């Protein structure tokens, strides 16, 4: 499934070392679960957490995306984490602290050498100044395996020395760089988590700002944040109506072969058509996953 048709509004972190969190995760309404073997698991519990996660995934009935964040391959746990995730029938492996494209090439090669199915994708976490500076080259490196860039806010602040205000103003250049790098290569872009689960207003503001920057969703640290993220990153009625009008304009346009059409007296081109198609397909995918209603009405092919 391409990024445009895969809802990634809400990505909840589930600590692999927490048996209770794992058991409860199947019934959550998040678009995706990020099972974590890295930051939330102590060194002493790494091996047990890996086995616990393996058993859970074998029986899991979660209908959304299932992704596993592994420890770096330069750690003593990374290789075993990779092999466990590779064999667990998950949708993606999340690579932490990616700073240059070589690590993506390394994992892509490892997946190829182990005959991993094409559906198994990679996600790269951009968490350092060097990772932000190299985001474009990282996004270009995936050979079809890389499907998502995720911003690691906490480590980015720590490694850069930034002390952003409540609006994250100082982080905007970095966030924009990651979002643009992702979209330049047709990848999803996921914003980092909001740490204070009691700060509902701040969380809503971050979601709104992230969506305006082009992010597709947000990492979450508590189930109470799921509904807010789902609502914030879902195409609204106005966007869906505009998208449908664009599709209809191209369907009847005598200039369609030239890549243009007319909508409300203005010329629109195929960039508008591509965005309209993305919005409608995303709406369809959300409706199909959540059972909230019929999918978008049949649209005439315009490609």
Write the pLDDT tens digit of every residue in 188-242.
Answer: 999 999 999 999 999 999 999 999 999 999 999 999 999 999 999 998 888 889 8
Instruction: Tell whether 48 and 144 lie within a shared domain.
Output: yes
Entry field: residues in the chain: 303
Asked if residue 202 is part of any domain, the answer here is yes
Q: How many helices and strands (H and E) does the chain possess?
A: 12, 10
pLDDT attached to residue 3 = 44
Total of domains in the chain: 2
Instruction: Tell whether 161 and 91 lie within a shared domain.
Output: yes
Instruction: Tell whether 174 and 29 lie within a shared domain.
Output: yes
Instruction: Tell whether 192 and 219 lie within a shared domain.
Output: yes
Structure tokens at 65: 């995306």
Instruction: Tell whether 143 and 268 lie within a shared domain.
Output: no
Which carries the bigger pLDDT value, residue 4 or residue 118?
Answer: 118
- Do 233 and 216 meet the contact criterion of CB atoms below 8 Å apart? yes
| pLDDT above 80 (res 292) | no
- DSSP per residue over 150-208, as a string? EE-HHHHHHHHT----TT-GGGHHHHHHHHHHHHHTT-EEEEPPPS-TT-HHHHHHHHH
| Rounded Cα distance, 220 and 8, in Å | 11
3-state secondary structure 221-262: CCHHHHHHHHHHHCCCHHHHHHHHHHHHHHHHCCCHHHCEEE
> Residue 284 sits in which domain range?
237-290
Which carries the bigger pLDDT value, residue 263 or residue 173?
Answer: 173
Q: Give the CA-trace dihedral at 132, 223, 121, 85, to 10 degrees.
A: 110
Domain boundary among 215, 233, 251: 233
pLDDT attached to residue 158 = 94
Instruction: Tell whether 59 and 106 lie within a shared domain.
Output: yes
| pLDDT above 60 (res 296) | no
Instruction: Tell whether 137 and 220 lie within a shared domain.
Output: yes
Q: Tell me the CATH number at 27.
A: 3.20.20.60
Mean pLDDT across the chain, nearest whole number?
Answer: 90
The stretch 117-124 carries a mean pLDDT of: 95
Asked if residue 303 is part of any domain, the answer here is no
Asked if residue 114 is part of any domain, the answer here is yes
pLDDT tier, 261 (very low <50, low <70, confident <90, very high otherwise): confident
């Amino acid at each position: 499934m391409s990024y445009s048709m895969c809802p990634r509004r809400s990505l909840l972190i589930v600590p692999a070392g927490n048996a209770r969190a794992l058991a409860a995760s199947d019934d959550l309404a998040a678009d995706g679960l990020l099972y974590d073997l890295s930051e939330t698991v102590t060194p002493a519990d790494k091996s047990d957490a890996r086995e616990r996660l393996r058993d859970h995934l074998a029986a899991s009935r979660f209908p959304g995306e299932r992704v596993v964040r592994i420890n770096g391959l330069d750690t003593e746990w990374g290789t075993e984490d990779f092999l466990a995730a590779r064999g667990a029938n998950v949708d993606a492996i999340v690579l932490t602290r990616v700073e240059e494209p070589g690590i993506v090439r390394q994992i892509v090669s490892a997946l190829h050498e182990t005959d991993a199915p094409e559906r198994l994708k990679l996600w790269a976490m951009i968490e350092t100044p060097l990772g932000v500076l190299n985001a474009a080259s990282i996004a270009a490196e995936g050979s079809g395996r890389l499907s998502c860039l995720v911003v690691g806010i906490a480590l980015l602040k720590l490694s850069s020395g930034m002390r952003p205000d409540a609006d994250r103003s100082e982080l905007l250049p970095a966030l924009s760089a990651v979002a643009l790098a992702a979209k330049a290569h047709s990848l999803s872009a996921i914003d980092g988590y909001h740490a204070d689960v009691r700060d509902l207003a701040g969380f809503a503001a971050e979601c709104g700002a992230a969506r305006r920057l082009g992010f597709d969703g947000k990492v979450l640290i508590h189930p109470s944040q799921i509904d807010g993220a789902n609502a914030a990153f879902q195409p609204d009625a106005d966007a869906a109506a505009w998208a449908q009008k664009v599709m209809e304009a191209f369907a009847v346009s005598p200039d369609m072969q030239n890549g243009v059409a007319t909508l409300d007296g203005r010329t629109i081109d195929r960039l508008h058509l591509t965005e309209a198609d993305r919005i409608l397909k995303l709406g369809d995918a959300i409706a199909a996953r959540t059972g909230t209603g019929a999918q978008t009405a049949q649209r005439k092919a315009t490609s």
